[in-house]
């Protein structure tokens, strides 16, 4: 199955970590995304939280004026159940402190329906005929 045509039954893995978590001096979220890409998974995205708490029970928030605040980060990866489960040992290696959630889901993929750009509208920079 081609990873670019995922539609139908899928498995979503969501990994919750702190934004300052690292792996070999690199952001942990970046390492996870790059490994998911190298594994050929269908997609991965990183979302930075604006507020949250975890095992420490300490609330972290972007509203406080602190550059050192450890905000939550969620990495979401979606692919077939078989491919996601094959990727889980890499998460075991990478995630020392965090939460990993698996959800069965349905994927509906929209792509390439419009010619000439995302909305089919001119950008203003294009020369009109």
pLDDT confidence of residue 3: 41
Exposed / middle / buried, residue 49 (Cβ in 10 Å: 0-12, 13-18, 19+): middle
Residue labelled with tokens 């420490």: 56
Residue labelled with tokens 């095992």: 55
What SS3 state is found at 28?
Answer: helix
Q: Can you state the percent helix, strand and coil of the chain, rounding each to 5?
A: 20, 35, 45
Find the angle CA(73)-CA(44)-CA(64) to the nearest 5 degrees.
15
pLDDT confidence of residue 2: 42
> Which helix (H) or strand (E) covers residue 31, if one does?
helix 28-38
pLDDT confidence of residue 109: 82
- Each residue's pLDDT tens digit in the chain (129 positions)? 444 567 899 999 999 999 899 999 999 999 999 999 999 999 999 999 887 777 666 666 666 555 556 788 999 999 999 999 999 999 999 999 999 999 999 998 887 766 555 555 555 555 554
Rounded CA-CA distance 78/104 in Å is 10
- Cβ atoms within 10 Å of 78's Cβ, excluding its own: 21
| One-character DSSP codes across 44-85 | EEEEE-SEE--TT---EETTSS-TT---EEEEEEEE-HHHHH
pLDDT confidence of residue 53: 74
pTM of the model: 0.76
């Amino acid at each position: 199955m081609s990873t670019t045509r995922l539609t139908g039954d899928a498995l979503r893995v969501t990994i919750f970590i702190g934004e300052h978590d690292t792996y070999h001096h690199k952001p942990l979220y970046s390492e996870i995304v790059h490994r998911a890409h190298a594994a050929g998974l269908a997609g991965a995205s990183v979302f930075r939280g604006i507020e949250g708490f975890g095992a420490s029970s300490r609330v972290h928030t972007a509203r406080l004026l602190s550059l050192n605040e450890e905000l939550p980060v969620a990495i979401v990866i979606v692919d077939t159940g078989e491919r996601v489960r094959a990727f889980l040992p890499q998460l075991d290696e990478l995630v020392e402190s965090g939460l990993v959630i698996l959800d069965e889901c349905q994927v509906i993929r929209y792509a390439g329906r419009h010619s000439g750009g995302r909305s089919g509208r001119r950008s203003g920079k294009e020369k009109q005929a």
